Structure 1
Amino acid sequence: MGYIGEIALILFATTIAGALSQRASMPIVIGQLLVGILLGPAVLGWVRPDSLLHAGAEIGVIILMFIAGLESDLQLLKKYFRPAISVATLGVILPMVVFYIYGEVMHQGFERSLFWGVVFSATSVSISVEVLREFGRLNSKEGATVLGAAVVDDILAVLILSVFVSMFGNVTGGQDSSMPLWQSLLLQVAYFVMVYLIIRWLAPHFIRLFERLPVPQATSIMSLVLCMGMAYLADLTGLSAVIGAFFAGIAIAQTPAHKEVTSTISPIGYAFFVPIFFVSVGLDMRLDHLLTNLLLIIGLTIAALLTKLIGGGLGARFLGFNLKSSYVVGAGMISRGEMALIIAQIGYEAHLLAPELYSEIIIVIVLSTVLAPLMLKHAISLLPSPKAARNDD
């Protein structure tokens, strides 16, 4: 029963660390990650990775991606489709190219170099949203573009991750599959056809059917069944399970049960499984060679900041935004947050990240997440006041 004590310790420590992180104007996930480092083999050694924690972390990442899908606002994306596509696309392409070159320079090999690009192409704008709200810019054209681009970025990130793990996981010791490539690709195409049908047609009927059951929380339970089922099927086809969970969330978000499911599932995820996932990321970190790789960390952090800033900013600039507004949009896309941590952890387990550099990659993700709001605040300070901007319009 020792695992019961470990779970109690993890939940207590992550709650305190999360509160301290928010006090310091940092994302809660940073505190949870630091708990994993503190309690894990890197420092105290009180909690060690085992099969139970691994299972809890897997459920945590699936629920987290399901919630991300639930929170994806497709209506906002439709309204700001062109700038969102432009910002997200350039904000993905530039990090992919720069980090691939960086990885090759560091002799990481083709697959691992490319995966560096996959990790740092991700964006998590939850902290950017708070900054934009604080300055009254959330409903401005810059804020709406950042939110729309975040939806596109999330979709691109999970698609790229799934395809990448499917193609290269076997090469570096990931999943083992004797299935011919053409058959695997055919299954994956069939899976995405199924995803489209679920989002457009099956999910609403599915929800209406289970709303009639005289069982408490039947709708939320069956939404979780859909989430886990789509994640499992994605894994069977060679894709990442997170893509199934993410699109299950998008499917439920298009139904009238959206608010009920979100209000039920979010507390379960954030109270139990999600903290276990982020602690598990910290448990795999080592601190004994960080000083040796300090220059690498600094270089990767600068690249992480500039690639999203320039990529997202250029995307906005091409659609007619002025320089100051483009700076705000680019700065709003810098934070990597939980999305990059999820991708890094999946890549680590699929042997797509070199174990000796895993800790450095996680630290760079954390640093870019912490520095992102500071850059966004500076960018917003250069804009005219919201009232003056409305008068100009």
Structure 2
Amino acid sequence: MTTTEIFLIAMAIIFTVPYLVWRLGGIDYAAPLVVVQIITGILLGPGVLGRAFPEYYQFVFSAPVVQSLNGVAWWAVMLFVWIAGIELDLKKAWVHRVESGITAGLALGVPMALGAVAAVAMLGLGSQWMGAKAQTWQFIVGVGMSCAVTALPILILFLEKLEILRQPIGQRILRYASLDDIAIWGVLAVILMDWSRVGKQALFLSGFALATVLFRRLMRAIPERDRWYVGLIWLAVCAFGADWSGLHYMVGAFLAGVVMDADWFDQRQMDALRHHVLLVVMPVFFLSTGLRTQWGLEGGMVFVAAALLLVASISGKLLGVHIAGRLLRWQPGEAGIIGWLLQTKALIMIIFANVLLDKQIISNETFTALLLMAVGSTMLTVPMVAPRLAKIRELVFRAS
């Protein structure tokens, strides 16, 4: 069979298997389709399918096919991160800057600290966790930040499912997550700072700052129908510049989006674009991610590390938000709901971990453990939040 034919077989598998599991399995309560696609990517990777059916795995996911899939995945994730950057609304966070700053800071700092402790513990279990080009501090900070990440796009899906997206508590949660998103990419840029290429990185950042001023003037001057196309050109150029300078194309994609204003575009078209990116190309990224998993040591230590990271991530997020609730005198029950929703990990953490793996800061084993942690924390969110939310609603109804 030709490479094109095998590529199409792989594409059919990518879109068929997770959809059937999600639709026929009745698991949409706990997990949106994107989470099922992530799990399917893991199952189709070398640790599961590759071990159970090695010949079939090698046939479908040959080097030319994987290379083609990776090209689609790169563009998919650049689009997704770009959209996430555009949709960040920091104006509302500035209006409520004291409350948002305290909550976002604690919701990020506490799980990051516990995650860093977990990273140190992992290093005590062996040397297989750290990437070949990592310094110890990069590994510890990278894993710590992975435990602190909130997946804003998945959070929006959950807020919609729970019918609180447009409610005051939903808007507050989005503010906290937006501030954390900025911090996450800032920390990533620090981790990726390469002193042997610092001249290139400084040149890129200074050029980006100047180009941003000119780009924003251009976008305001042209009609909306042209802004989409110009925005995509801007995305490709910024991603190239970041990758060329030694950062990463995903850092460039986020920067390209964050300097753009959401009100330049029709919100319905932006929502449709996000939906179509998730529908049409992001499943390829999820499979590409799954193909990078590696279990090692018969998988036992990977699951131990994943459990350690899951405990650090969830407990850190809940502890940080509860401290914020005490300081800000929230109503009883609010901290639990906000904490569980903010610990949603899938997508953004997976993107973050992909960057760390690309730069050889973490190993494939650590990447696999982080992936399992992200899936576990995300699937726990709705089952833990729904009864708490119902209880608060009942109390409010009785009080009225």
The interval holding the TM-score normalised by the smaller chain is 0.7 to 0.9
Q: Are residues 1:262 and 2:270 paired?
A: yes
With structure 1 as the length reference, what TM-score do the two structures score? 0.82
Deviation at 1:178, TM superposition (A): 4.4
Residues in 2 aligned to 1:326 and 1:139: alpha-carbon distance in whole angstroms: 18
- Aligned AA for 1:70? I
Question: 1:89 is matched with which residue?
Answer: 105
- Aligned AA for 1:298? A
Question: 1:368 is matched with which residue?
Answer: 377
Residues in 2 aligned to 1:138 and 1:268: alpha-carbon distance in whole angstroms: 20
Q: Are residues 1:106 and 2:122 paired?
A: yes
Deviation at 1:117, TM superposition (A): 1.0
| Residues 79-125 of structure 1: CA deviation (Å, up to 9, x unaligned) | 43332222222222122222222212222533212210121221014
- Aligned AA for 2:228? S
Segment drifting more, 264-273 vs 195-204 = 195-204
Question: 1:155 is matched with which residue?
Answer: 182
Instruction: Let me know the Cα RMSD of the aligned residues.
Output: 3.0
Deviation at 1:278, TM superposition (A): 0.9
Segment drifting more, 132-141 vs 147-156 = 132-141
Residues in 2 aligned to 1:368 and 1:309: alpha-carbon distance in whole angstroms: 12
Q: 1:47 aligns with which of 34, 53, 61?
A: 61
Identical pairs, percent: 21
Residues in 2 aligned to 1:178 and 1:132: alpha-carbon distance in whole angstroms: 44
| Residues 31-74 of structure 1: CA deviation (Å, up to 9, x unaligned) | 11222233332314233563222222111110111221233234
Residues in 2 aligned to 1:17 and 1:196: alpha-carbon distance in whole angstroms: 44
Residues in 2 aligned to 1:151 and 1:187: alpha-carbon distance in whole angstroms: 28
Residues in 2 aligned to 1:52 and 1:68: alpha-carbon distance in whole angstroms: 25
Describe how 1:131-150 pairs up with structure 2 within 5 A. 131-150=158-177
Segment drifting more, 299-308 vs 120-129 = 120-129
Q: 2:36 aligns with which of 23, 31, 36?
A: 31
Deviation at 1:363, TM superposition (A): 0.5
| Residues 284-307 of structure 1: CA deviation (Å, up to 9, x unaligned) | 123563334443332221111111
SS in 2 for 1:138: coil
Q: Are residues 1:16 and 2:20 paired?
A: yes
CA contact (8 A) 1:203 1:255 kept: no
CA contact (8 A) 2:90 2:179 kept: no
With structure 2 as the length reference, what TM-score do the two structures score? 0.81
Deviation at 1:281, TM superposition (A): 0.9
Any stretches of 5+ residues in structure 1 without a counterpart?
168-176, 212-217
Residues in 2 aligned to 1:201 and 1:318: alpha-carbon distance in whole angstroms: 42
Deviation at 1:225, TM superposition (A): 1.1
CA contact (8 A) 1:198 1:251 kept: no
CA contact (8 A) 2:150 2:344 kept: yes
Q: 1:269 to 1:138 in 2, by over 3 A?
A: closer
Residues in 2 aligned to 1:202 and 1:84: alpha-carbon distance in whole angstroms: 32
Q: Are residues 1:164 and 2:185 paired?
A: no
Describe how 1:1-393 pairs up with structure 2 within 5 A. 1=4, 2-17=6-21, 19=23, 20=25, 23-42=28-47, 43=49, 44=53, 45=57, 46-48=60-62, 50-107=66-123, 108=130, 109-167=136-194, 178-179=196-197, 181=198, 183-184=199-200, 186-187=202-203, 189-191=205-207, 193-194=209-210, 197=213, 201-205=217-221, 207-208=222-223, 211=225, 218-259=226-267, 262=270, 265-266=273-274, 268-287=276-295, 289-385=298-394, 387-388=396-397
Q: 1:195 to 1:14 in 2, by over 3 A?
A: farther
Residues in 1 aligned to 2:102 and 2:206: alpha-carbon distance in whole angstroms: 28
CA contact (8 A) 1:41 1:47 kept: no
